[in-house]
Structure formats: C-alpha cells, structure tokens
Chain A
C-alpha cells in the first residue's frame, strides 16, 4: 500500500511523529516490531522532567524540558501525576552544586524554589532528616505506555495506520530512494508491503539496524540503565539528589509503586537491558539515603532500558536529538536521541521538515490539541477512579455493567481487559498488561494470569499455553534478583505456574 510517510518504531518518538503528521492530514503509517514502547520508552523511570537536571550542564535542554513539561500537563493530564519534585542534598554531597543549580534553573526558565529543610520534610515526610538544601521543581511522573497509546489512538482517529507486532524485514531501493518496505505482521503471519514517499527511522536503539536495511549508517551510542520497582508509593514527590548527575539519584512515585533509578553502563546491543545485582544494591543504597523507608521496602521488579544516544553515548552525551540523512537513501530520515519529556517537540520538528519536503502547508497542532481528558476521580471504587489515568479518552468505552475484578494488586476490572482485547493492539497477554496494569503488581501475575488468558480465549485467542508461557517468562525476567518477600512471592508463583500447572518447563 502507498503512504506518504512510513514511520518505523513505535516508541514516544515514532508515536509522536505519526500523530503530528496525521493531524496535519498527511497519509502515514507506523510499524512497531513489538508492542509500543518496546525500547527506551518502556524502559525508563517515567520522569516528566522539570528541566532541573539539565539546568547546569545543558541549558537549552533544560529550557525545552520546562516548556514541554507545561505543554504535556495541559494536553495530557490523564497520564501525568503532578507530583512535583524535590532536589535534596545530604551530608557529603558537593555543597557547591546547589547555587549554580538554582542559578541555572533561573537562567533557563526552569521554575525552581529553595525550601528550608523543615518545609521540605513537611512536604515530603519520608525525606531523610539529614537533608541539607532542598529545591522544589516541577518534575512529574508520567506513564509512557498510556502516553504513547494516546498518541497512537489520536493518529488512528486522524486516519493513520498504526500497527504493533509488525517487524520491518527489508527495504528495496531504487535510484538512491527507498521505494518499498516489507514487514512481517505477527498477528496475521503475512508480509506487509508499504510504498512510502518518505521513511522515518524512529527505531531508537535499533535505528542503526533499520538504517542498514537501506544501506545507510547511523552512529549511535548505546547506554544501559537499571531501575527498580518498589511496592507502595514511598514518596509523594519525585525526589532527586542535589549533586552532579550520578547513579541512584532519583525516586519516582508511579501508580502503586515507586521507581528507583538509575545507572549507566555501555550496552552491547539494544537487547542488553538486564540489570545486575550490583546495580540493585547501588540503587537501594543511594536512594535510601534520601528516603530511609527504602531500607525496608519490597522490590517487586528489577528492569533495565537501553538509551540510544547520538554520537558516542555515555552520561555526558547531549540529550537533544539529531536528524540524520544519508545520500545513499535520500528519503530515509533517521531520528536519534531525545527524551520522553520532549518527545512532542522532537516530533514537531521532524514533522515540520517532512511536511516541507512533501509540500504540506498545515501547521503543528500538537501544542494545543488535547491528548486525553483531565483526571476527575469519578466513580465509587478505586478501579473506577483510575480508568482515566490508564485509558484517557477511551475510559468511557469500558463497560461498567459488570464491575468484577480481574487483578487485585492493581484493582483492574475484567471489563478493562475486555476493552483492550477488543481493540486492535492486543496480541499477547503482556500487551493487555501494559495497558491495564494487570500483572504489574507485586504478585506479578500469579493471581490473574489464568483469568486473563480465559478472557483472551473468550475474545478469540487460540494458543493459550504459548501465550501464557510467553507472559510467564516475561514476568520472570524481572525476578532474577528477587529477595525477601518478593522471593517468597516468586517461589509461590513458580510453584503454582510451573510446578503444578506445568507451564514452561517443570523444574
């Protein structure tokens, strides 16, 4: 099929671009090889940057963050927890960092206000009593899955074709232009062929691989970061360490959990995401200095993500993005770098450039067009109060006739899973999990896996053992470092799912 623009990669970048272009009337398609947010967009700590983190080292980046932060809060409030943030220093931290930090914030338009330790403790009771200097900023917690899905839904509504589980396999070139792109659709088992005017390579860490299909090169650094999901919201704000960027310097409240982050090491490949035991110990040690309650927390999951960084990568690499063209494939545009908070701006710039090339005059609408509804805690149960947070505008399509629960950890209704299963994006159980949060709680699917699979069977599923095994193994990937109560949970989970039900291989 013919499309003006084909976007490869369904992370925040790709989804943002397809939405922007679709809203401008461009005929476009997006193909994502896994589920949306397969790469870095699904492997981060969900921070909506205030910009504070870049105020000293990268002021233009800081300004961008501050502006986009405000735009996202206005247009996509449903997937954002407006927690605000704190930067706190502790004894032993470099005392000369705070003043340049404040100055940098002021200079780059990042709202920041110093608080006394007493005020900070009052605002954040779990903070260490040893906190020295405290600066309040407008960090927030954002759900990347809900954000990206909303972009996908909006793009579809404006006429775009968006598919997950479709992996681009090769590109055919003629006269130095990509004329055909082939993709394998896992859903149907068939090969899709797209004939594009322009191809945008938004494949993140896989961008070099995609570019190579067109005989092009993209220079990129790959950097792995580890994160821990801790059960319970142990902080009300995003809490950051007020010292030069380092490992273990941030905690982000997110739904029913707290995400601890992060680390940095070179990654051998986009799949090199696994956290190490050292990472886990470091993260707990560093973050519990800011929030002592973390010394006795329950780590539900350890995960990692690979950051694609333009150029040679590493912690000092610039986080702004670049657009790479290559004369070997004149209509292939690779987008590299960037971060979640500024995805919309990245998409706007890319879309401007693309529209220029296509001769499309329409302007960008994403600065003002709402991505989802404001959050309004309607309904007489925790489940109902959370529907908008997860589904944005689609919350009203969840049937409230039967309000029985599917997942107790995350208080997910069966009707939510049914709604997702009826949509175009759910192929695997983990697709349903990412959207409903069923299986993301501390039991990691022990309680709901079979019920979820039954719902999938009711919606026309056919290979339950393969489906459940895939889900089981996906959940187990985050449990290799389980200890304490989470280890007890994992023993029970394996005993039931593997030992009794015989999923995967019986040990």
Chain B
C-alpha cells in the first residue's frame, strides 16, 4: 500500500508516526530544521487529554526517567516552573520543595546565572547561594565541552561538597545518554540534584531525540533534511508529494498524509505580514488574527481544502493546526492531543 507521509519531524509528527507505525502502517516522516519541540523545555505543562497514557508510553525512557503529577521546578530565571510531565531531575512533587539551593554556574557562560537565580529564589523565600565556577568557555560553545572526562565531574562534585547543604541546581546540558550523571552526583554528594528548566537548550533536543528513537523502533522511516515542496490534491484526496533533499527532487505517491509542519515560528505555516498562510496553497488556514492560535482548519482532525471540503486522507497535527485554546505552554500537550485526533481520523477513513 502507499505510504503515509508525515510532513514534519517534531513532536506531533513523531507521535503520529509512532501511533501509525504500531498499527502496521508504512510511515515515512519527512522533516528538516529544528522543530519547536526541540526548542522546548522538554516538559509537558499539562496532561494531554484522551491520549495521555499513550503519550506516557511514547515518552518512557530508561536512561532519563520521566515523572508525572503536580510537579514544580526552578526555571533558568529562578522562577517556579509548574508542569505535569518532566525528566526526573527537573522537578519535585508536592512534598519535595527544597529549603535551600546551591546554584552552580560557569563564569561568563549563559548556561546558568548563579547570582541572578539566587536573588530570585531569595525573593521567593528559598535560601540560595551562588556557586560560580571559573571558566573561559565562550558563550556559544555548549557546556558539554567542559565535561569531556571523569576529572571534570569529580571537580564539580568537590566544589559542591565544599558548600553547605541543600539542593544543587545545575545547568541543563546533559543528553539522554549522560543523564545518569545526575544520579551519580546525587550519590557522590549526598544531596538532591536538580536541572534548571529552560527552553532553547539541551532539554528540548533530548526530548526530540527520545521521540525519534521511539518512532524508529516502531518502524517509521525518517527522511532527514528533506522538505515537501508541493502536494497534489485531486477528488478530495492528497495524491502525490514532491520531496526535495539537497539538490535532488523526487515525487512520490501518497496514501495518506499527516501535516505536522509546525507554526509560523519554524516556517511551517507561512506568514504574509501578520497573516498566516498555507505554504502548499491547498488547504484552508484560519487566522483569527492570532499567529499563535491560528492554523489549518480541521474537521475532527482532517484538513479542509480551500473551498471548504474535508480532505479524505489528510489530517493535521501540532502547531500548524488551528486551536483557539493554544497558548504559551500548550505546544507539547496540544501536539499530542492533535496527533491522536489526526491518527484516529486517518485510521477511521
């Protein structure tokens, strides 16, 4: 049978492809560029409706355990960060609030700002002390550069142990593979270790890496560095897609399509001035005058043509889809919910 083409390899695309692949569909995920999910905090602010168990299943990770419930963490500004799902070292549950915190940063490196955070925590009534370790690392260089060997970690452990007790707050820079270091540091220093919650850094990328691994395990093919440049829609169905990768262009037949290209932020939706637009000029986009909430019109998950007819074999998921209740912090939960809806719509067809 013709493949299901998932356009976009972010959270919505990968969750859709995992669901479809597990149900035996041949799935090709086409994506290019960093999706919004890879720039996220790696946490879900709220529980996605209807599909949360599936989502938990999807995000289960041995190397980096995920925890759910009423969780709170410390943001990179020192402000509270409340969420429903996070990696285990990012947040604490209702009983686990720290009484005092040692904030670890590296001189002149933006990965964490000990003085700023300590002050903000202090105003919140949490005793906090900055621990600024010497460093000459340029700001654009990822912090991993300082942690190439065991000695570097031993050095941090030693410095931490010199400080008074309390929770240790570290910059968030570890990959899934190295996440165990946080457990190691906890054992080594006998203190709770937390990672600061922040977007635009490692946490989003490692969430994405986890999702990709799960999708590939389930049997989806991922076509990296490729974009869908046009689609043909005939008689109410998507028929073919033109895919570009580098200098090469290929045409393929499409059995079904999940549009998960992302919002205007990642150029998934086009932006003319302040108005959203469909880059494929095939489907209806509703703007509502709000670049965050606007996107593809959907009917129970399926895309709608510009003339208003439901497209039989195409559905939309994620930021590219219109959702009046979408706001800051809703990106990931909405991605899962809409992907679930989209897949049900396609499987029902």
* Residues in A lying within 8 Å of B, measured CB to CB: 402, 404-406, 408, 414, 450-451, 453-454, 457-458, 461-462, 464-465, 468, 482-485, 487-488, 491-492, 494-496, 498-503, 506-507
**Contacts A450-B110, A454-B116 known; A501 to B139 CB distance under 8 Å?**
no
B58: Cβ under 8 A from any A Cβ: no
Asked whether A464 and B119 contact (CB < 8 A) given A453-B113, A454-B113, A487-B264, the answer is yes
Flag if B115 contacts A458 (CB, 8 Å): yes
Which A residues are CB-close (under 8 A) to B199? 495-496, 500
A402 nearest CB across to chain B (Å): 7
| CA–CA, A485 and B329, complex, Å | 21
Tell me the minimal C-beta distance from B116 to chain A in angstroms.
5
* Beyond A451-B113, A457-B116, 5 additional pairs, beta carbon < 8 A: A487-B274, A488-B265, A496-B199, A498-B328, A500-B41
A500-B197, A500-B198 known; A491 vs B77 contact (CB < 8 Å):
no
B277 to chain A, nearest CB (A): 12
What is the bound-complex CA distance between A494 and B199, given in angstroms? 12
Pairwise interchain contact A487-B108, C-beta atoms closer than 8 A: no
The contact of B116 among A406, A464, A484, A488, by CB within 8 Å, is: A464
Min C-beta distance of B40 to chain A, whole Å: 9
B79 touches A404 (CB 8 A): no
Which residues on B sit within 8 Å (CB–CB) of A488?
A: 264-265, 267, 271
- Within 81-108 of B, Cβ neighbours of A (below 8 Å) are at 81, 108
Residue B284 interfacial (CB < 8 Å) = no
Tell me, rounded to whole Å, the shortest Cβ–Cβ distance linking A458 to chain B. Answer: 6
Q: Is B123 in the interface zone, CB < 8 Å from A?
A: yes
Interface 1/0s, chain B 119-159, versus A by CB < 8 A?
11001000000000000101110000000000000000000
Chain B 289-333, CB-CB to A under 8 Å as 1, else 0, gives: 001100000000000000000000000000000000001110000
Judge whether B123 and A491 touch: CB under 8 Å. no
Across the interface, do B140 and A408 meet the contact criterion of CB distance under 8 Å?
Answer: yes
Can you list 17 A-B pairs with a CB-CB distance of less than 8 A? A405-B140, A450-B76, A451-B113, A454-B115, A454-B116, A465-B77, A465-B123, A482-B274, A483-B274, A491-B265, A495-B199, A498-B328, A499-B328, A500-B328, A501-B76, A503-B79, A506-B329
Interface centre among B80, B113, B199, B327 (most CB of A within 10 A): B113
A228 to B113, CA, bound (A): 34
Q: How many angstroms from the CA of A485 to the CA of B273 in the assembled complex?
A: 9
CA distance A487 to B108 in the complex (A): 30
Question: Smallest distance from the beta carbon of A268 to chain B beta carbons, Å?
Answer: 27
B252 contacts the other chain (CB 8 A): no
Complex: chain B residue closest to A481, CB-CB = B274
Enumerate chain B residues within 8 angstroms of A506, measured Cβ to Cβ. Answer: 328-329
Once the chains bind, are A491 and B291 in contact (CB under 8 Å)?
A: yes
Q: Is B75 positioned at the interface, with any CB of A under 8 Å from its CB? A: yes
Chain B residues with CB under 8 A of A405: 138-140
CB-nearest residue of chain A relative to B274? A483
Is there contact, CB below 8 Å, between B328 and A495? yes
Interchain CA distance A77-B168 in the complex, whole Å: 51
Q: Chain A residues with Cβ under 8 A from B110's Cβ?
A: 450-451
Residue among A402, A451, A458, A498 making CB contact with B136, cutoff 8 Å: A402
Q: Contacts of B108 on A, CB cut-off 8 Å?
A: 402, 404, 414
**Cβ contact of A484, chosen from B77, B263, B265, B271, cutoff 8 A:** B271
B200 sits at the interface (CB 8 A):
yes
Is A404 a contact of B139 with CB atoms below 8 Å?
Answer: yes
Instruction: Report if A501-B77 is in contact (Cβ < 8 Å); known contacts: A405-B140, A408-B140, A454-B116.
Output: yes
Q: Which residues of B contact A461 (CB under 8 A)?
A: 119
Q: Which residues of B contact A458 (CB under 8 A)?
A: 115
Minimum distance in angstroms from B273 CB to a CB of chain A: 4
| Smallest CB gap from A482: residue in B | B274
Interface centre among A408, A482, A483, A501 (most CB of B within 10 A): A501
Chain A residues contacting B140 (CB-CB under 8 Å) are 405, 408
Could you tell me the distance between the alpha carbons of A404 and B140 in the complex, rounded to whole angstroms?
10
CA distance A408 to B140 in the complex (A): 9
- Cα–Cα distance between A498 and B81 once the two chains are bound (Å): 12
C-alpha gap A320/B157 in the complex (Å): 68
Residue of B nearest to A495 (CB): B328
By beta carbon, the residue of chain A nearest B108 is A404
Chain B residue at smallest Cβ distance from A402:
B108
Q: How far is the CA of A462 from the CA of B120 in the complex (A)?
A: 9
Residues in B whose Cβ lies below 8 Å from that of A408: 140
Partner of B77, one of A414, A450, A487: A450
**Chain B hits for A457, CB < 8 A:** 113, 115-116, 119
Q: Is the CB of A507 within 8 A of B113?
A: no
B137 CB to nearest chain A CB (Å): 8
Instruction: Return the chain A residue nearest B329 by Cβ.
Output: A499
Chain A CB within 10 Å, residue with most, of B116, B119, B265, B328: B116
Chain A residue numbers with a CB within 8 Å of B273 are 483-484
Q: Within 8 Å CB of A453, what residues of B?
A: 113, 116
Compute how far the CA of A453 lies from the CA of B328 in the bound complex, rounded to whole angstroms: 24
User: Is B115 a contact of A487 with CB atoms below 8 Å?
Assistant: no
**Distance between B318 CB and nearest chain A CB, rounded to angstroms:** 15
A502 touches B116 (CB 8 A): no
CB distance from B135 to the nearest CB of A (A): 10
CA A137 to CA B75, docked complex, whole Å: 54
In the complex, how many angstroms separate the beta carbon of A238 from the nearest chain B beta carbon?
A: 28
Q: Distance in Å from the Cβ of A502 to the closest Cβ of chain B?
A: 4
- The CA of A488 and the CA of B41, in the complex, are separated in Å by 18
Minimum C-beta distance from A499 to chain B (A): 3
Bound complex: CA A276 to CA B215 (Å): 48
Cβ B265 vs Cβ A492 within 8 A: yes
* Assembly CA distance A244 to B62 (angstroms): 73
Q: Closest CB of chain B to A486's CB: distance in Å?
A: 10
Contact string against A for B residues 186-197, beta-carbon threshold 8 Å, 1 for contact and 0 otherwise: 000000000001
Residues of A within 8 Å of B41, CB to CB, are 500
User: Contacts A404-B138, A450-B116, A492-B265 given: A500-B291 contact, CB under 8 Å?
Assistant: no
Which residues on the A side are within 8 Å of B75 (C-beta)? 500-502
Complex A-B, nearest 9 residue pairs according to Cβ-Cβ distance, in ascending order = A499-B328, A454-B113, A457-B115, A501-B77, A502-B79, A483-B273, A454-B116, A483-B274, A451-B110
Chain A residues whose C-beta falls within 8 Å of the C-beta of B76 in the assembled complex: 450, 501
Residues in A neighbouring B79, C-beta threshold 8 A = 465, 501-503
- Inter-chain CA distance A451–B138, complex, in Å, is 13
B269 → A minimal CB distance (Å) = 10
Q: A414–B140 Cα gap in the complex (Å)?
A: 13
CA distance A499 to B43 in the complex (A): 13
User: What residues of chain A lie closer than 8 Å to B200, measured between beta carbons?
Assistant: 496
